[in-house]
Structure 1
């Protein structure tokens, strides 16, 4: 999906905290033709003049330690739609898209506190012999979940397909450079839209990721969508060509 060193680093995306907007109570006298009983008071103001407790926002996405998921990996500008698996075991995890018989084939792993990426095949990119497996450094599930805690809640949505899926939509992103807005240089390098089950934020449904982590894709954006997601421990296997974990 991206140059081997920059590839598949969707796991490093993060943004600032949740934002909530409140409405100001309208002037009831501005609508004299309507009975006062038909004008609902806005959530931010009660008749007593007190402010109610803000509704609790949903919990952000969370990657569980053990899971098995299956679905599709989609690169629409290349007309690619291939099988996709994502499995976790004891905090390690592995994504695999496509395979030897498909136009793309790659795997990404979090294995023993190390992030790996290995791309076997990609359209119009010479990968023969296939690229080496790159270790992208120290990374683990805890770091990912800490990043996800800072994601921004977009809102509840319904994904329509063979059946409606009720999800919460979150956005996460990463900017390199100065941590203070307005200072130079700052460079946005990626973002992801994460959709999780409304009742269980650790059940992932769909992810769109966009940015420098997608350098192999002309439009810099790719999807994975999951048809199944359950809590049985999966299989996580480090390919032989990958170097030993850093820790």
Structure 2
């Protein structure tokens, strides 16, 4: 996504994709990097046909948003209701604070705070041009490539399927014309339920505020109860 206003679209296009941008800023000690261990031996699941990630219509989850090279590890929430969805990282008392939404067939991103980036006067809400909704997002996820089964190690080890999805600009004929990567996401979903998301690494043009061009979110909880999705007052009305 090339300015922070247009950031986070896959997850803002992958999450919505993968959602949506560098300065080197001093920060506290680096936050721990989420870890994934390859499943093998006795813990490996049996043969099966893995299903690609799916964003459900109704869900709510909480976790952490990690920008490791800036030493940032802040609260994160992701909620969905009736096909709309909203991600929120940090808050007014944290070093970063932004929200991304799929709302009324429209993709939005709004960054309130980012280290050493002047958002003064307050940055306007970015309404990404075009029609975008959960179905378009899920159709893109169907093109994801299966990397393999893994175990995410943490307080609760989770068996997940690791998928990779990307967006590339330029010619669709490799070698004929110049092509360039726009976004790439590694997505880790529950092996038994691919609509239950546990971790995402996203990087590319959508992360240009981050010196290392990568940002993580990891979920501690994720269930299918309808969440709360609220369009900020400064965001323009959705596409009809």
TM-score normalised by length of structure 1: 0.81
- Structure 1 residue 4 displacement after superposition: 2.9
Length, aligned pairs only: 207
- Structure 1 residue 105 displacement after superposition: 0.2
- Contact 1:2–1:8 (CA<8 Å) still a contact in 2? no
Instruction: Indicate the residue corresponding to 2:3 in structure 1.
Output: 3
- Structure 1 residue 230 displacement after superposition: 0.7
- Contact 1:167–1:198 (CA<8 Å) still a contact in 2? yes
Instruction: Indicate the residue corresponding to 1:217 in structure 2.
Output: 210
- Contact 1:171–1:191 (CA<8 Å) still a contact in 2? yes
- Contact 2:4–2:209 (CA<8 Å) still a contact in 1? no
- Contact 2:5–2:125 (CA<8 Å) still a contact in 1? no
CA distance in 2, matches of 1:2, 1:106: 16
Q: Confirm whether residue 231 of structure 1 aligns to residue 215 of structure 2.
A: no
- Contact 1:156–1:166 (CA<8 Å) still a contact in 2? yes
More strand by share: 2
Say which SS state the counterpart of residue 206 (structure 2) adopts: helix
Q: Confirm whether residue 59 of structure 1 aligns to residue 59 of structure 2.
A: no
* Contiguous gaps of at least 5 residues in structure 1: 15-54
CA distance in 1, matches of 2:152, 2:85: 26
Instruction: Indicate the residue corresponding to 2:86 in structure 1.
Output: 94
- Structure 1 residue 13 displacement after superposition: 4.3
1:122-158 Cα offsets, whole Å, 9 max, x none, are 0000002220001002210000000000100000001
- Contact 1:87–1:236 (CA<8 Å) still a contact in 2? yes
Instruction: Indicate the residue corresponding to 1:175 in structure 2.
Output: 168
Query: Greater CA radius of gyration, 1 or 2?
Result: 1
- Structure 1 residue 5 displacement after superposition: 3.8
Q: How does 1:66-105 map to 2 (within 5 A)?
A: 66-105=58-97
Say which SS state the counterpart of residue 143 (structure 1) adopts: helix
TM-score normalised by length of structure 2: 0.83
- Structure 1 residue 2 displacement after superposition: 6.4
Q: How does 1:43-58 map to 2 (within 5 A)?
A: 56-58=48-50
- Structure 1 residue 10 displacement after superposition: 2.6
Instruction: Indicate the residue corresponding to 2:179 in structure 1.
Output: 186
- Contact 1:2–1:217 (CA<8 Å) still a contact in 2? no
CA distance in 2, matches of 1:68, 1:3: 28
- Contact 1:7–1:117 (CA<8 Å) still a contact in 2? yes
